[in-house]
Chains A and B, each alone.
Chain A
Amino acid sequence: MSQLKTVVHNRKPAPLLIRRLEKMLSNVWRDRVGYLFIAPFLICFAVFILLPVLMAGLLSVTSFNGFSFPTFIGFNNYISLVTQDFVFMKYALPNTFKFALLVGPGGYLLSFFFAWMITRLPKQVRDVYTLAFYTPSLAGGVALAVVWVAAFSGDKVGYVNSLLLRLGIIDSPQLWLANPKYLMTIMIIVSLWTSFSVGFLAMLAGLQTVNPELYEAGRIDGIKNSLQEVFYITVPSMKPQMLFSAVMTIVGTLKAGAISTQLTGAVITPSYAGHLFINHIDDYAFIRFELGYASSLCVVLLIISYAVMKLCYHLFAPKGDE
């Protein structure tokens, strides 16, 4: 290595580009251990995350049916998304908005609330309660779909029907999952049930890191009730966990879109009642094989979720002094 350098220095100074390249390579060589350690992950990351995202971007400006080579059509996909996609504008977008708003922030607040309550319990029993709230999300979508299908089954043997009939709230069995009026509500309830996941655990852990002396100090400074305590002390001291949990909630909400398919057994729900963004993508991608158009939907979804994440970072970013 050193030999090589002296040779270079004895000659006329090499062009800037070559010198830069050389410096870069020698840096890479110096940091080779780091690069070797990160390489396996980086390769997988490039192949299964970075490349798919870039490809989605490229495919989104083409017309592609999965068999013949994609043809470039400019921004036509995006234009028809805004101007012509009736189902998207009338069902997918409002449904997604409603679903995401209730399941995302709703699930997030519930997670925080229960995590906060659990940390007020005596230490010995905390784990039991943590487990009780975490278990539904542990069971995961598919195993729980079995439960929901049985609970909301349309005949009078269904658990919800039987309970409501006995209580006299309804007088004939309702077709919960086939009725557009109820499907969305059921999807939201069911998703909230499983919203106590990794983010919930992170919040529980974060709550334990809050320095108890701060509460004492807060009391002296005139904090009167628990609500003020949560807002002025608890949340600010566990911002990093709140942020991690928020990001996990975004992922969870994105993934939760599959619930309508699991409940009804079809990608397209009755009169589009449970039609979410993800279902719309699946519809165009794997039923109609308009992969170019589906990709433009993916790109829009990625951009939206990225924007939401940025918003969360903004909300929970540590303030100056930290």
Chain B
Amino acid sequence: MRRRMRRLSLSSVLLIAGLTGLALFMLIPIVYIFNHAFKPLDEMFLFPPRILVQEPTIVNFEKLFFATSGDVVPFTRYLFNSIIIAVITIFCVITVSSMAGYAIAKLRFGLKGLIMGLIYISLMFAAETVSIPRYLIISGLGINDTYFAHILPFLASPVAVFLMMAFIGQIPNDLIEAAKLDGASEVAIFNRIVMPLAAPAVATIAILTFQGVWGDVEASTLYVQDEALKNIAYYVQTLVSGAQNNVAGQGLMAAASLLMFLPNLIIFLVFQKRVMQTMLHSGVK
């Protein structure tokens, strides 16, 4: 142990110093988001510009929550939409993907090979490439201008199924067999044995789904025309694209982008350990 410490000391000091510098550099945008949101208006246009805030204030958040209440659609409505959509989507994705993951990993059925092949191929699927047919399907189903247009497209998540499948795959079969011998039904096995053991993978797909759905602008731009049903990501994007010639909007934009980022960060911090545990089984074999 001691020999190891001494051998690593010089190189590891250099390594830590270098990585710390790089990490700090990577974090500049994040530091900026945090500081900018608390700047009073005059500090935002200070010359030379500063990243760090001098006299923090919450006036931007006040404006965001109260001053926009007179608008056609207040900020709180976008926030509410995003939260509702995220909660329902995460719940449904977990249900759908873990059921599929369990079926592929542990149950026997004829089309398994074909379905696994499809999942492997569609891991690289990016919804952006087929936005036109998706638009046609969503209007064909008659769900545009509803929350479903936000939620349903996310339920087909090959990555989530893949991660669940890989994680459930390493749950020992003996456990499941033993439960079967005790007379447990498939549903009971799934609910009482598989799901608790797969908790890290569930947390991981919850985070990934949250990131996707919280930052999604596609549904709000293409599928939903009703302004009152669009989400916060869309709102922030409209603020950004109108930012160059809108001085007053700067504060709103800064505050809104912090509110967009914070939930992502908090959720990841809470679940970081479990995500890494899941990723151990993420290999494509």
Contacts and interface: CB of A to CB of B under 8 A. Distances in A.
Interface of A: 24, 27-28, 31, 33-35, 37-38, 40-42, 44-45, 47-53, 55-56, 59, 114, 117-118, 120-122, 125, 127-136, 138-151, 153, 156-159, 162, 166, 193, 196, 198, 201-202, 204-206, 208-209, 238-241, 243-244, 247-248, 250-251, 254-255, 257-258, 262, 265, 278, 281-282, 285-286, 291, 294-295, 298, 301-302, 305-306, 308-309, 313, 316, 318
Please report whether the interface of chain A is mostly helix, strand, loop or mixed according to DSSP: helix
Listed from nearest, the 9 A-B pairs whose CB atoms lie closest are A240-B283, A34-B109, A205-B279, A265-B241, A41-B100, A132-B23, A31-B109, A55-B133, A37-B103
A56 B133 contact: yes
A91 B175 CA distance: 58
A45 B158 contact: yes
A148 B32 CA distance: 10
Interface residues of B, number: 100
A215 B235 CA distance: 52
A243 B283 contact: yes
A146 B280 contact: no
A42 B264 contact: no
Given A129-B20, A135-B265, A308-B124, 17 more contacts: A27-B110, A37-B186, A38-B104, A47-B156, A49-B158, A117-B15, A132-B23, A142-B236, A147-B33, A150-B36, A156-B47, A162-B48, A251-B125, A257-B128, A285-B131, A298-B129, A318-B285
A38 B99 contact: yes
Given A132-B26, A143-B33, A48 B153 contact: yes
B147 interface: no
A149 B242 CA distance: 11
A48 B152 contact: yes
B27 interface: yes
Interface in B44-91: 45-49, 51
A84 to B, nearest CB: 21
A209 B115 contact: no
Contact of A278 (B16, B33, B121, B128): B128
23 contacts: A34-B112, A38-B104, A45-B156, A47-B141, A48-B153, A55-B133, A56-B132, A127-B273, A133-B26, A142-B237, A145-B237, A157-B49, A162-B48, A202-B283, A205-B276, A241-B283, A248-B159, A278-B128, A278-B129, A285-B131, A305-B124, A308-B124, A309-B123
